[in-house]
Structure formats: structure tokens, C-alpha cells
Amino acid sequence: MDGAAPLFQMEGISKRYGGVRALEKADLSVTAGSIHAILGENGAGKSTLIKVMAGVVAPDEGRMTLDGREVTFASPAAANQAGIVCIFQELSLIPELSVADNIVISDPPKRFGMIDRKAQRRIAEQALARAGASDIHPLALVKDLPLSRRQMVEIAKALARKPRILILDEATSALTAADVAKIFGVLKRLREEGLALLYISHRMNEIAELADQCTVFRNGRNVASYAAGSKSDNEVVELMIGREYSHIFPPKPVRHQPGAVPVLEARGLSWSGRLDNISLSIGAGEVVGLGGLDGQGQRELLLAFFGVLRGLSGQILVDGKPVSIASPAAASDDRVGMALIPEDRKTEGLMLPMTVRENLSFAALDRLSKAGVIDRGAEQRLIDDMVGLLAIKTAGLDIPVGALSGGNQQKVVIAKWLMRQPRIILLNDPTRGIDVGTKQELYQLMRKLADAGAAILFYS
């Protein structure tokens, strides 16, 4: 598409939230029949950029043009009407509704004033097939689908709107390798059909395979645009983080503790056909990883340890002694000292309307309270320690946690549990949808916690 006129342009776009500069005179040019990758750390301005483009927020200054004509979008519906559809990182599906209901929810087919269920199902089946997910039944309830399949429904929902410009914000972060391969095929086909695709991902291998053009954002500004493949991964990462890039994984110390009693142990754990005679042990200072394809029981194993599952058989031992963990409260009690960082920070890890401060201290209120009164001085000292330890970037502690970038939200989830000083830490895909710089910080934190004696079990 060299030399083709831009389908969509943004010029000098700025957006501020209070004292926080989310975008500063940002420019972007998108061409039909191409895949344009947007890269940058969490908080670099990527999310704000696509929210402006998709009509979610209005820019403070700058202009946008579509087909050479200046446009403004007062709402997502207005952007959709113009052919701009966005698949955000956090799903917009309604769990209690069927797949078909979700796919046509913005414009359900009607007959005689009633929803035409036959037409609805046909539209859903066509959209699922176009998304490479025809194995998903249109009448299945979304709440019964694993996260990876819900993501496929989200993509089908977007395609049902017949976009000219499709924006994908970390759309593959929850997908299995097989699903990612299907989506790549779909995106390449859409490119051949003439769609413009804006692709946001922290996975460098995906960018290398899909993108035609790349733009890097840092601190609200676009710092570089280049043809895909013209820069090495290290060069791209250095553009993203603004400093020299060192190896993402910290070195592993050599430990030899023969005969040491494991901090956490499972013996023959089984549950509801999802777990079958699972045994493992984790010692103090160890980081143990869970592998396997998505949906093979990893999440259930973490939930089993944390006291969420009922009807569990087998034994859980802490410090070599059998324990009965009947609830998350029992798991997080000082006698066990366990913390679980959940898979979905938005729905399982945070209370989005509440403040950063309230989210950070929530799990440790029993430690911070005396006779039902919170010791605000102790709370502030502990919060300051956590904000410093995890380098949480926020305009203040009393803003809604939902206003933070994805990476900083994830740091708040982790910090919330570290407020309790756990010695057993369970992490379910803790780096999903966060940038390489934040991943590096979290890996270094995990190593630091392990070096201090924590036993860590994580799935990624």
C-alpha cells in the first residue's frame, strides 16, 4: 500500500486528565488494506489514543479526518456508524446472555417489532465463522465459556458490525496458541479485503508476523514510526522504555536444600473431572511454573489451594502439616499466609470505582484496624512502601483505580496482597496484557520475593 492516501488521520491530538498528560500532540496515519501496530509501555498513551479514535473520550485539541474529511465522534455509536470498531482489552460481553445475544446486542434483527431469533442466530453463526470460531455454539451462555473463547466471541461481535477500521487492543492476550493462529488468518484475510487494522500488542512475535507499519508511543507522544521488520526487537523495546534494554528475566540463584520441608505441598488433589491426582511441592525461595494449554486445570489448581473449590479430594500441606483451607479467608490467614493474584484484574482483582488507596488496603484491613477503627497512619506508611516497591504510577491515591493504565492496575492487585506479607504467592497469568517493561519489573519482583523466602506458584 506504499503511497496510498490515508484512510484515517489524527493530527496534534492531546488529552489530559487533571494534571496527567495522557496524549501530547500525537499523530497517526492509518491506510486501508494494512495492519498498523501501536507499541508502547502501559501508560504510554495507547489506550487514550484508541479511546479518542473510537469516540469513548473527546480530545482536548487536535483534529481527525476520515476519507480526507474532518470528523468528530461524540460517542462510540457515532464511531461505529463511521465504520470504526474497537475490541478493547477488557471484554464488553454480558455473561448472563447468550453468545448470539451479545454479538447482535447493538443492533438486533427485528420482525414485527420483536427480535428475530432465527436471523439473530444466523448473524451470530456467520460472525463466528468469520472469526474462525464456528465451534462456539451461538446459544451458549457467555458465562459458561472460558476466557479464551469469550475473547473469540468479542472479535466475532466486532466483525458483525462490518467495520472499515478495526482496532484490536491486546485481543490475543487470553487466547490459546491455536486461537491466535486462527485470528492471524482472519486478520490477514481482512487486510486483503481492504480493511484498515490497528493492532496493539506487547507480543513482539505477533507484531513481526502481522504488521506492515509500526508506531511507538512513550509518555503520550509518538516517538517513532517505521516499516515493520526494519528494527530489531531490542531497538523497539528501547524506543518504548526510553532506556537501554537488559534481559527481561532476572538470574536464578542456585539453591540446594536437600531434605527441606516444602512450604506448600499437594498430594493427590482431584476435583470435578478438572483435577486428577495432582501432586507437587514448593520450597521456600522457589518459583514453580505451571505450563500446558489454556483450560487444562491450571486455574482450578490455584483456586483449590486458595480454598475456592468445594468437593476437593486429596491433601494440602503447609510446612509439612495437613491443613484444611475451606475459604479464601482461611488461605490468607496468617497461619497459612497465602495470596492469589487472579487472572482477570478488572473483575476479580480490583474494585474499579473505588480509589487506589482503598484497593491497596482492602486485603489488609484486619491488620490495619484496632477495635474496628483503621489506623490511617499505619495504612499510609504501608501504602507508601508498596507504591515505592512496585513503582506504581498514579496521579494520586484518591483517584479511581480504574483510571490507571493496565500495568499499574496489575501492580495494585499484587501490592494489595503484598500488604499482608504472604509467604505463599499464587499468580494466575500475572503478565497478561502488560508491556515488556512492566513484565520485567514483575519478574524482578517475583525473584526478590522468592529471595526473601516466599514460595511462588504461577501460571503463564
Read off the CATH number of the domain in which 291 is found. 3.40.50.300
Q: What percent of the chain has pLDDT over 90?
A: 68
What average pLDDT does the segment 320-341 reach? 95
Answer yes or no: is 237 within a domain.
yes
Mean pLDDT of the chain: 90
CA 277 to each of CA 178, 191, 268, 296, 310: distance values in angstroms, whole numbers, following the listed order: 27, 47, 4, 14, 16
Same domain flag for 427 and 328? yes
Residues 202 and 324 in one domain: no
What pLDDT does 436 receive?
74
Same domain, 235 and 367: no
On the question of pLDDT at 1 being above 60, the answer is no
Residues 195 and 136 in one domain: yes
**pLDDT bracket for residue 449 (50, 70, 90):** very high
Range of the domain at 341: 264-459
Residues 172 and 75 in one domain: yes
3-7, 76-80, 383-387: which range is least confident on average? 3-7
Residue identified by cell 484508541 is 50
pLDDT at 173: 73
Assess if residue 331 is contained within a domain.
yes
Query: 360 with 383: CB under 8 angstroms?
Result: yes
Q: Are residues 294 and 425 in the same domain?
A: yes
Cell of 245: 534494554
Instruction: Note the Cα 259 to chain centre separation in Å.
Output: 39
Res 17 pLDDT > 90: no
- What are the distances in angstroms from CA 200 to CA 38, 88, 432? 5, 10, 13
Contact 217, 38 (CB under 8 A): yes
| pLDDT score for 47 | 86
Considering the domain architecture, whether residues 56 and 199 belong to the same structural domain is answered as: yes
* pLDDT bucket at 255, cuts 50 / 70 / 90: low
Q: Are residues 237 and 268 in the same domain?
A: no
DSSP string for 160-212: TT--SEEEEESTTTT--HHHHHHHHHHHHHHHHTT-EEEEE-S-HHHHHHH-S
Q: How many alpha carbons fall within 13 Å on the CB side of residue 264?
A: 28
Q: Which of 28-37, 342-351, 413-422 has the lowest mean pLDDT?
A: 342-351
Q: What is the pLDDT of residue 3?
A: 61
Q: For residues 440, 443, 445 and 449, what is the CA-based torsion angle, rounded to 10 degrees?
A: -170
Cα(406)–Cα(379) distance, rounded to whole angstroms? 24
Pairing of strands 287-290, 455-459: parallel
How crowded is residue 194: how many other Cβ atoms within 10 Å of its Cβ? 12
pLDDT in tens, 350-388: 999 999 999 999 999 998 998 889 999 999 999 999 999
C-alpha span between 181 and 117 (Å, rounded): 31
Same domain, 235 and 271: no
Query: Are 105 and 216 in a shared domain?
Result: yes
Question: What share of the chain in percent tops pLDDT 70?
Answer: 96
Claim to verify: residue 410 and residue 282 sit in the same structural domain: yes
Asked if residue 290 and residue 200 are part of one domain, the reply reads: no
Tens digits of residue pLDDT in 221-238 = 999 999 999 998 888 888
What total of structural domains would you count in the chain?
Answer: 2
User: Torsion angle, CA of 135/170/36/441, rounded to 10 degrees?
Assistant: -150
Q: Note the pLDDT of residue 4.
A: 75
What's residue 104's pLDDT?
95
Under the banding of pLDDT at 50, 70 and 90, the label for residue 90 is: confident
The pLDDT-based confidence of 254 (bands split at 50, 70, 90) is low
Cα–Cα distance, 72 to 353 (Å, whole number):
28
Q: What number is the average pLDDT over the span 243-268?
A: 75
- According to the model, what pLDDT value does residue 27 have? 95
Q: Is residue 246 a part of any domain in this protein?
A: no
pLDDT digits (tens, 9 = 90+) for 140-164: 999 999 877 898 899 999 999 999 9
- What's the mean pLDDT in 343-352? 89
Mean pLDDT of 118-125: 96
What is the DSSP secondary-structure string of 46-111? HHHHHHHHTTSS--SEEEEEETTEEE--SSHHHHHHTTEEEE-SS----TTSBHHHHHTTTS--EE
Q: Is position 253 within any domain?
A: no
Residue 256 placed within a domain:
no
**Residue 259 belongs to a domain:** no
CA nearest neighbour of 336 among 418, 264, 288: 264
Contact indicator for 285, 451 with CB cutoff of 8 Å: yes
